[in-house]
A and B are shown apart, each in its own frame.
Chain A
């Protein structure tokens, strides 16, 4: 019986976060480089970073207590009915 450890699901999530980080930095650098120095870009960047941190924290909290290393038998996964 095949058993998959749940941490494998974190790999595509980590790849997504890498892409997210790239675009987030591109946004913030663009605002810092080309935005006028009047605080709007700074406030917007702060709100963006705070929102991102909130979502990631909520995800982390909802996944607390999971045993990531113990394999879960695949046979128990119900297949979608067509």
Chain B
């Protein structure tokens, strides 16, 4: 599936850019996974001094091996679920609207949509040593009315994203104003035509 299949484009709508959280954000789950994977080996080294564990009964030995297998499979599926949750969170910006797609665990997905003409203000923020070095942060989009703000968290180049969204919102407002003017002119021309026909006794 390509990015274009994550939403149904309107007439004349084109994709401007898509955003995911910065890859460094996934370093946390990677570190946790490595620590959890190392725990049995560390325990064996610390408790047994690196020697093989001699269990007094064969059932205990079989049970322990199966338990270790369950442990490693468990942390592996957990780590993969974390990756799926990270990778399927995506923000899409077109020349007409903004989509915020959030994966909630494995069996939940929330899609929020905002028309660019309803964008009132956009804030961007980079906070912290590592975000500053790697240039990632938060973009908050304030909307008109009582709608909830859109927040893009931990995205790369937040200041450039903010600037681009402001430009796209301005362009979209101009385009909508032009469309409304054309529709109004068309209605005026059509009304004038009908009046003329009635005046000439043709309608």
Contacts and interface: CB of A to CB of B under 8 A. Distances in A.
A59 B76 contact: no
Contacts of B17: none
Interface of B: 1-3, 6, 18, 56-60, 62-63, 65-66, 68-70, 72-73, 76-77, 80-81, 83-84, 87-88, 90, 101, 103, 106-107, 109
A55 B60 CA distance: 20
A34 B1 contact: yes
Given A27-B77, A34-B88, 7 more contacts: A27-B106, A30-B103, A33-B1, A36-B2, A66-B58, A76-B56, A76-B57
24 contacts: A13-B69, A17-B73, A20-B73, A20-B77, A23-B77, A27-B80, A27-B81, A30-B84, A30-B88, A34-B6, A34-B88, A34-B109, A37-B1, A44-B87, A51-B76, A52-B73, A52-B76, A52-B77, A55-B73, A58-B69, A59-B68, A66-B58, A77-B59, A78-B57
A62 B69 CA distance: 10
Contacts of B77: 20, 23-24, 27, 52
A27 B6 CA distance: 18
B2 A37 contact: yes
A25 to B, nearest CB: 10
A9 B106 contact: no
Contacts of A33: 1
